[in-house]
Amino acid sequence: GAGVSQSPSNKVTEKGKDVELRCDPISGHTALYWYRQSLGQGLEFLIYFQGNSAPDKSGLPSDRFSAERTGGSVSTLTIQRTQQEDSAVYLCATKPGHHTGELFFGEGSRLTVL
């Protein structure tokens, strides 16, 4: 498809387990964001990738969270030793470059930590 694709759409895990969330961006989009959205809350910035530059990790809430982007395309957000407070929808968004703020969002991955 032509849009941003995220998987899995839903993930239920037990406290303490590690999870990986995947984002396939729109082809040619050099910028990629991860956001977290808790129930009824706004978007919480996590991490930003732009081309080959070092990622902006300033939004990651703890060292249990990490993300990588391979070959400037697919990105994976990893949460280690999950906690119940990690339960949220994780949204990926991409854009063509840094000269615009128009983001294209995926449908999100809903994470539930039991």
* Cβ–Cβ < 8 Å for 13, 19: yes
105 binds other proteins (CB under 8 A): yes
DSSP secondary structure of 79-101: E-S--GGG-EEEEEEEESSTT--
- Contact letters (x/-) for other proteins, 47-86, by CB under 8 A? -x-x-----x-xx---------------------------
Q: How far is CA 78 from CA 17, 21, 63, 84, in A?
A: 11, 6, 10, 15
29 neighbors 69 (Cβ within 8 angstroms): no
Among 21, 93, 111, 113, binds other proteins (CB under 8 A): 93
Which of 52, 70, 84, 100 is the binder for other proteins (CB under 8 A)? Answer: 100
Q: Which is nearer to other proteins, 9 or 83 (CB)?
A: 9
Strand partners, 92: 34
Interface residue with other proteins, options 86, 106, 111, 113 (CB under 8 A):
106
Residues that bind other proteins (CB under 8 A): 4, 31, 33, 35, 41-43, 45, 48, 50, 56, 58-59, 91, 93, 98, 100-108
